[in-house]
C-alpha cells in the first residue's frame, strides 16, 4: 500500500532533491493559531510535516519542545484535538504527508484501535513514537501497519550494525536518523559523522533516510540534506514561534509569519542541497 509519504519521497527522488521536514507542536500556542501555522508550512516549502502530540513528560525532548508541549496543554490541547487539527489541515491539502510524533501514553489511554481508525480517517500518514522500540512492536507498530499507517522508526548513533536490522524490520515510510546522542535542540550534528551513518543505514534499507536533531540554520540544513533524503528541523521553528509570543505566551500578529519565514529560509537551504547533490 502506498501512503502520502511514499508518494512524496518518490516525487522528490524524481526531482533529485531532499525533503524538508518540519516539526511543530500541535496546539502551540493555541489550537486555532496552530492550525494556521500548519496550513502555512507547505506554501513555505515544507515537504513533510511532523506534528508533536503534547505530553507532560517528554523524556527525549529539550527545554524548547518541553515548553511547547506545556503551552499546548495549557491551551487545552488533547490527542482528540490533535486529530481535529490534522482533519482541519486536510480540508485544503490532500498531498502533504502528516506524521504524528510523541510518546505512547496518550495513545494507549485513547485506545490503540480507536486511535488508529481516527488517525487514518483524519488524514494522518505516519507515526513516530519515541518510547516504542522494536522490542515493543506488538503495542502499536504492528497494528499501525495493519491499519495502513507508516511506523517510522528512530535510528541513533547507538544503533549498531547488529541492531539495525531489528530497528528497520517493521519500519516504513522513512527512517528518522537521530544525528546525536541527546535530546532535541541540543548540540549541532557533525556532517561527516552523519554522512557515514546515513550510508551505513542505507546498506540495510531502501527506505529514504531523514536526519534530525541539531539542525537549526539553512546552512546546516543544506549540509545535512546533501547527505540524506531529508532534513528535519524542530527546535529552531518552535523557538521562532515562542519568540513571537507576547509576555503571557499568547499568539501575536507576528506568530504565523515568524514560523513561515524561517520555514522558507530553511527550505531554501534544503533546496540548495539539491544542486549540490546533482
Partner 1 sequence: MNIAKPNSYRSGPDDRGHFGNFGGRFVAETLMPLILDLDKAYTEAKADPAFQAEMNGYLKNYVGRPSPLYFAERLTEHLGGAKIYLKREELNHTGSHKVNNVLGQIMLARRMGKKRIIAETGAGQHGVATATLCARFGLECVVYMGAVDVERQQPNVIRMEMLGAKVMPVQSGTRTLKDAMNEALRDWVTNVHNTFYCIGTVAGPHPYPTLVRDFQSIIGNETKAQMQEIEGRLPDSLVACIGGGSNAMGLFHPFLDDPSVEIFGVEAAGHGLTQLHAASIAGGRPGVLHGNRTYLLMDADGQIQDAHSISAGLDYPGIGPEHSWLHEVGRVNYLSATDDEALAAFQLLSKLEGIIPALEPAHAIAKVMELAPKRPRDHLMVVNLSGRGDKDVPQVGDILRGKK
Residue 132 near partner 1 by CB under 8 A: yes
Active site residues: 50, 61
Which window, 29-37, 87-95, 158-166, 230-238, contacts partner 1 (CB under 8 A)?
Answer: 158-166
CB of 264 to partner 1, least distance (A): 31
Q: In terms of CB distance, is 11 or 136 closer to partner 1?
A: 136
Contact pattern for partner 1 over residues 37 through 66, marking x by CB under 8 A:
-----------------xxxxxxx-xx--x
The Cα–Cα gap between 146 and 165 comes to: 20
> Should residue 248 be labelled a site residue for partner 1 when binding is judged by CB under 8 A?
no
Q: Which residue has the cell 542505507?
A: 202
Helix or strand run (H / E) with residue 112:
helix 112-122
According to CB under 8 A, which one of 3, 36, 78, 257 is a site residue for partner 1? 78
Tell me which of 3, 74, 84, 133 binds partner 1, using CB under 8 A.
133
Closest to partner 1 by CB, 205 or 257: 205
For partner 1, the closer CB: 41 or 144: 144
Based on the shown chain and the rule CB under 8 A, indicate whether residue 73 belongs to the binding site for partner 1. Answer: yes
- d(C-alpha 41, C-alpha 47), whole Å: 8
The position carrying cell 544503533 is 159
Chain CA centroid to CA 46, Å = 11
- Closest to partner 1 by CB, 63 vs 148, is 63
Cell triple for 107:
495513545
| The one among 92, 94, 146, 160 contacting partner 1 by CB under 8 A | 160
How far is residue 67's CA from residue 99's CA, in Å, rounded to a whole number? 21
220 interacts with partner 1 by CB under 8 A: no
Q: For residue 232, what is the DSSP state?
A: E
Sheet containing 19-25: order of strands: 150-151, 126-129, 98-102, 48-52, 19-25, 230-233, 209-212, 175-178, 154-155
Contact flags string 110-129 toward partner 1, x per CB under 8 A: x-------------------
107 near partner 1 (CB under 8 A)? yes
* Element (DSSP H or E) covering residue 221: helix 218-225
Residues paired with 185 in a beta bridge: none
C-alpha dihedral, 121 to 122 to 125 to 127, nearest 10°: -110
Binding region for partner 1 (CB under 8 A): 54-60, 62-63, 66, 73, 78-80, 103-110, 130-133, 135-136, 153-160, 163, 167, 178, 181-183, 186
Amino acid at each position: 500500500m502506498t501512503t502520502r509519504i511514499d508518494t512524496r519521497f518518490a516525487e522528490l527522488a524524481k526531482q533529485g532533491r531532499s525533503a524538508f521536514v518540519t516539526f511543530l507542536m500541535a496546539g502551540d500556542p493555541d489550537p486555532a493559531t496552530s492550525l494556521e501555522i500548519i496550513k502555512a508550512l507547505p506554501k513555505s516549502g515544507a515537504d513533510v510535516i511532523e506534528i508533536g502530540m503534547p505530553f507532560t513528560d517528554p523524556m527525549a525532548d529539550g527545554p524548547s519542545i518541553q515548553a511547547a508541549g506545556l503551552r499546548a496543554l495549557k491551551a487545552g490541547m488533547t490527542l482528540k484535538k490533535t486529530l481535529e487539527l490534522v482533519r482541519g489541515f486536510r480540508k485544503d491539502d490532500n498531498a502533504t504527508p502528516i506524521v504524528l510524533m510523541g510518546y505512547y501514553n496518550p495513545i494507549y489511554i485513547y485506545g490503540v484501535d480507536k486511535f488508529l481508525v481516527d488517525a487514518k480517517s483524519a488524514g494522518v500518514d505516519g507515526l513516530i513514537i519515541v518510547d516504542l522500540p522494536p522490542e515493543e512492536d506488538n503495542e502499536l507498530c504492528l497494528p499501525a501497519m495493519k491499519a495502513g499507517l507508516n511506523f517510522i522508526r528512530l535510528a541513533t548513533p547507538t544503533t549498531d550494525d547488529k541492531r539495525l536490522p531489528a530497528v528497520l524490520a517493521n519500519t516504513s515510510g522513512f527512517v528518522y536518523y537521530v544525528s546525536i546522542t541527546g535530546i532535541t535542540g541540543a548540540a549541532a550534528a557533525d556532517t561527516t559523522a552523519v554522512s557515514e551513518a546515513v550510508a551505513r543505514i542505507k546498506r540495510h534499507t531502501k527506505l529514504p533516510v531523514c536526519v534530525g536533531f541539531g539542525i537549526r540554520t539553512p546552512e546546516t540544513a543544506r549540509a545535512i540534506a546533501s547527505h540524506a533524503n531529508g532534513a528535519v528541523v524542530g527546535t529552531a521553528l518552535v523557538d521562532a514561534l515562542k519568540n513571537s509570543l507576547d509576555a503571557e505566551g499568547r499568539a501575536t500578529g507576528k506568530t504565523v509569519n515568524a514560523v513561515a519565514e524561517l520555514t522558507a529560509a530553511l527550505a531554501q537551504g534544503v533546496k540548495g542541497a539539491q544542486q549540490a547533490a546533482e
